Amino acid sequence: MAEDDPDRRKFLKVTTCALGAGAGIALAIPTLRLIAAPAGATTVTGPSEPLDLGPIDRFRVGAEPRKVEVIAPIVKDAWTAARNVVLGAAFIRRPSNDKILALSAVCPHLGCAVGWDTAAKNFLCPCHDSRFEADGPRMTGPAERGLDPLPVTVHDGRLQLTWVRYKMGTSSREPV
């Protein structure tokens, strides 16, 4: 007779469903946290302070722009850290003893690597033939703005550069 008791069957159904739902929620919460955790956080961190490019004497006054790799001592993402990461390249030029110019070697059009054209005495992007003056302004081509300047300072005789990435394909210079 106890087998046909409707209250007992209802109780077993509710209890089974409640236990199943509780187990599902107990598994779902950590899974959702794992998936959603990086969404609201900064997952990649690069250097925020200036990077040392070496002695200022490496860059002669009046010489052609010199391309240097910009290397971060450490870059962290959500789970790992990497040391000595190449962020990009910059062209350093010293028009005079008291002036130092640093330009990103990234074309502001689509991000191709820009090179110095010694014969023409200007910068050239080989992807779409954009040309830039020695100080960075756009001369020709599809790029909508000139080369992006990078902040530099001299501290204790050493050149310090702050790496900044800018949005590509726009006429305004906006950091990413």
Q: Give per-residue pLDDT as tens, 64-113.
A: 999 999 888 888 877 788 888 888 899 999 888 788 999 999 999 988 99
Q: Looking at the domain assignment, is residue 139 inside a domain? A: yes
- Predicted confidence at residue 2, as pLDDT, reads 54
Domain identity same for 58 and 80: yes
| Total domains present in the chain | 2
Q: Are 152 and 160 in contact (CB under 8 A)?
A: yes
Domain identity same for 27 and 87: no
- Weakly modelled stretches of the chain, pLDDT under 70: 1-4, 37-46
Domain identity same for 35 and 108: no
Residue 37, C-beta contacts closer than 8 angstroms, at least 6 positions apart: 78
pTM: 0.71
Domain identity same for 96 and 32: no
Q: Looking at the domain assignment, is residue 170 inside a domain? A: no
Q: 12 — phi, psi (to 5°)?
A: -65, -40
Give the domain extent around 123: 51-161
Q: Looking at the domain assignment, is residue 59 inside a domain? A: yes
Domain identity same for 21 and 88: no
Take residue 173 and report the two structure tokens written for it.
């210079």
Q: Looking at the domain assignment, is residue 87 inside a domain? A: yes
- Predicted confidence at residue 133, as pLDDT, reads 92
Domain identity same for 31 and 68: no
Domain identity same for 94 and 29: no
Domain identity same for 100 and 24: no
Domain identity same for 66 and 142: yes
Domain CATH for 126: 2.102.10.10
Cα torsion through 63, 66, 72, 73, rounded to 10: -60
Domain identity same for 65 and 135: yes
Q: Looking at the domain assignment, is residue 121 inside a domain? A: yes
Residue closest to 134 by CA, chosen among 93, 171, 98: 93
Q: Looking at the domain assignment, is residue 67 inside a domain? A: yes
Instruction: State how far the Cα of 93 lies from the Cα of 59, in Å rounded to an integer.
Output: 7
CB atoms closer than 10 angstroms to residue 165? 14
